[in-house]
Structure 1
Amino acid sequence: MIVLTVDQRGSTHAEDRVPAVLEHLAEWVRGRDGMVVSFARTVGDEVQGVLAASDAGAQLAVDLTLALLRDQGWSVGIGVGPVELPLPEVSREGRGPAFYRARDAVERAKRRARGTSVAVEGPEGPVGANRANEIESLLRLLGAVRARRTPQGWEVVDRLAELADKPGRQKIAAQSLKVSEQAVSQRVRAALWQEEEGVRPVVVRLLAELSGWMGGERDDASDELRGNATP
């Protein structure tokens, strides 16, 4: 399974943003596959959720992580591994390696700069550790790219993301934003949006592979979700 533990940065001297981020997370996951245990407050200014060890779960984990990093007010820990059954209704009651690794990961993430405060912990052993490090490095790279994006760049990127990927969408974006196509092209290049779009599927694939590879650890929860749990 994939566990996301998310902690508010600088919460000691800031208002409690957990209710707002829970609303955002609920909106972001609505209608999408991959959510197993919904996000909820665990303790203090921290929230946690459990995602499936699947392509859909990995895609959702990457999308949520990048959305939280864009805010720059959160540290994200991603833990991959088995969880104990039965799965709880709220994640704070969950146990198992994936939960413990998410806890270790978020503590490491807190030491990172805003926009790149993410860490990943996977199954023990060189294969799991190396793959987790690859995913973490790519997520931090994407976070750094997005942290340097200007408001004008985000305006174009957000508009393009709303449109179907087909010829002419930059022209449509230019018309809706009341700027020239050349201006849209310049902003896209400066925002490194096409580069981001090329890397994101790679991160999702790596995370999906890691969540499906337990390195000898038994993942009864994933078996149960697939309908193949053993007595």
Structure 2
Amino acid sequence: MFVLTVDQIDSRRTPDRVEPVLQALADRWGDRLLSAPERTAGDEFQLATRDPATALEIVLELARDTVWSIGAGIGDLTSPLGPSVRALSGTAFVNAREAVTAAKKRPDRVALVTDDAEETARVDPLVRLLVALRDRRTAEGWELADLLEQDSALTSKDAAARLGISAQAASQRALTAGLRLETEARPALVALLASADARIGA
């Protein structure tokens, strides 16, 4: 099981961002979550999912905004499952709490904790590495990345035409933004997350 505990950075001096993010998360990933994401205390919220790909997608989406400390916990849930995130418990929640505490002290704002220290040491740095790759992406790189994500059938040449740039310029943007590297790394990372979860449940 994957649990995210997410806390808004510098919330005392910035507007509360939790409610609109909760709605956006529910709209996009609600069918893959155990229940609706929920504010748990102040400017903090939690969500839980059984799907490693969903957990990674949400971590990356939240990290892109740079206003959240994101703790990901992998562990078990106590049965029976409750009707809301607040009603759930288990080591996944304990690990997510430990992770968000660690994330608040890191420049990349992300941490992952599992029930096994060696498993954590294997997976946590790779999640953070992918976040760091995306953190270095320029506005132009994100423009291309978002366009390709919106229409996976687009070729590089098609994307270049839509952006009004040359195919060579689009190729350079993709290289600088690390788009191919991310595309290749994400399935491998999802597999590692799934493996970590399976070991915990074994």
| Contact 1:4–1:77 (8 Å) recurs in 2 | yes
| SS of equivalent to 2:82 | coil
| SS of equivalent to 2:37 | strand
Structure 1 stretches of 5 or more lacking a match?
A: 217-231
Report the count of equivalent residues: 202
Counterparts of 2:98 and 2:195, CA distance in 1: 21
Residue 84 of structure 2 is aligned with which of 76, 81, 90? 90
Query: What is the root-mean-square deviation of aligned Cα atoms in Å?
Result: 1.5
- Normalised to the residue count of structure 2, the TM-score between the two structures is 0.94
Counterparts of 2:155 and 2:201, CA distance in 1: 44
Q: How does 1:79-118 map to 2 (within 5 A)?
A: 79-113=73-107, 116-118=108-110
| Contact 1:121–1:132 (8 Å) recurs in 2 | yes
Q: CA deviation at 1:93?
A: 2.5
| Contact 1:28–1:64 (8 Å) recurs in 2 | no
Counterparts of 2:155 and 2:27, CA distance in 1: 25
1:73 aligns with 2:67: yes
Counterparts of 1:64 and 1:215, CA distance in 2: 22
Amino acid at match of 1:75: S
| Contact 2:73–2:93 (8 Å) recurs in 1 | yes
| SS of equivalent to 2:111 | strand
Deviations 1:48-72 (A, max 9, x none): 01111xxxx1000000000000000
Residue 45 of structure 1 is aligned with which of 43, 46, 58? 43
Q: Hey, what does 1:224 align to over in structure 2?
A: none
1:13 aligns with 2:16: no
Counterparts of 1:202 and 1:129, CA distance in 2: 20
Counterparts of 2:191 and 2:117, CA distance in 1: 16
Amino acid at match of 2:79: L
Counterparts of 1:94 and 1:81, CA distance in 2: 12
- Normalised to the residue count of structure 1, the TM-score between the two structures is 0.83
| Contact 2:76–2:201 (8 Å) recurs in 1 | no
Amino acid at match of 1:98: A
Deviations 1:175-212 (A, max 9, x none): 11111111100100110111111111111011111111
| Contact 1:131–1:206 (8 Å) recurs in 2 | no
| SS of equivalent to 1:36 | coil
